[in-house]
Amino acid sequence: MIDWNSTYAAIWRQRQAYLRPVRQTDPIRLDQLLGVDSQKQQLVANTERFLAGKPANNALLWGARGTGKSSLVKALLNNYKDKGLRVIEVDKEDLLYLPEIVDDIREHGYRFIIYCDDLSFESGDSLYKPLKSVLEGSIELPPDNVLFYATSNRRHLLPEHMRDNLETQLVNGEVHYSDAVEEKISLADRFGLRLAFYPQQTSTYLEIVDSHFTDFMGDRETLHKAALDFAHQNASKSGRTARQFFNAYSETAAIDNC
């Protein structure tokens, strides 16, 4: 059994069918996340309502890769763990165990976010069905001390094909989606808070780079050029790319500062 008084996060391990306590969490803080102010504000407000015992929504953070979706959830834990927030990470393949996980924590006094990173489903995939029941309940209402936060590159979590829209009709000015589209949208609709993350602009990317190189005393223009070259090489100007650039360039920058 996990002592949630001293454990702030856990990861579900399928093979041993247990929650493994996390001893070292990512130390990312909310104020370190740049270029996502609106998304941050909305998710923080939702989480604070949840912690206060007020109505709050399950959240889907979707959009471009490397834009801070996962980091935002991790930062929430660091910011609110002393106020009763706990996080349980579950892989998509383990969603069928969600009802058992929820049963184990529904009576605890802490507030739990069940977190699934990079969530998406393929056509014919049935793993999303246990998730539906946890999000909205079945004959039993979902517990008020549990929310589900997920990140994904897909807005509707399921693949969208042009053929799915062929039977969509406009009747009396109202759109009537095909059954295939309705099935896809119905899952995303269970997330009352859906936050979109878009690729970072160049100025924001360089601002994130600067936040990593706070002690850099060399030529900033040279640093920025190297950062942009790195971004072009990786075809991405994101917070993740900025961090990777720091990992690759920080030692060289330190030598240049000497």
Which tops the pLDDT comparison, 18 or 164?
Answer: 18
Q: What is the mean pLDDT of the chain?
A: 84
Could you tell me which residue, 255 or 16, shows the higher pLDDT?
Answer: 16
Nearest-angstrom CA–CA distance, 50 and 221: 44
Helix (H, G, I), strand (E, B) or coil at 110: coil
59 confidence band (pLDDT: 50, 70, 90) = very high
Element (H, E) at 151: strand 146-152
SS3 (DSSP) at 195: strand
What's this model's pTM, rounded to 2 decimal places? 0.82
Contact criterion met (CB below 8 Å) for 64 and 201: no
Question: Could you tell me the maximum CA-CA distance found in the chain, to the nearest angstrom?
Answer: 72
- Burial level of 141, CB count in 10 A (0-12/13-18/19+)? exposed
Please classify residue 79 by burial: count the beta carbons closer than 10 Å to its beta carbon, then call 0-12 exposed, 13-18 middle and 19+ buried. middle
134 by DSSP, 3-state: which?
helix
What type of residue is 159? P
Give the pair of three-digit tokens for residue 170.
Answer: 């406009």
In this prediction, residue 57 carries a pLDDT of 95
- Angle, alpha carbons 131-180-123 (nearest 5°): 60
Q: How far is the C-alpha of 47 from the C-alpha of 246, rounded, in Å?
A: 31
- Per-residue confidence band for 163, with pLDDT thresholds at 50, 70 and 90: very low
Mean pLDDT across 228-247: 93
Rounded to 10 deg, the angle between the 220-234 and 239-257 helix axes is: 140
Per the structure block, which two tokens stand in for 186?
Answer: 């119905």
| Number of CB atoms found within 10 A of residue 162's CB | 6
In angstroms, the Cα distances linking 1 to 10, 77, 163 are: 11, 21, 49
Question: Beta-carbon neighbour count of residue 166 at 10 Å?
Answer: 10
184-199 tens-digit pLDDT = 566 778 889 999 999 8
pLDDT in tens, 121-145: 776 666 777 777 777 766 777 889 9
d(CA 90, CA 172): 44
Q: How confident is the model at residue 160 (pLDDT cuts 50, 70, 90)?
A: low
- Write down the pLDDT at residue 194: 94
For the chain, first and last CA: distance in Å? 52
d(CA 115, CA 73): 8
Q: In angstroms, rounded to a whole number, what is the distance separating the alpha carbons of residues 113 and 50?
A: 10
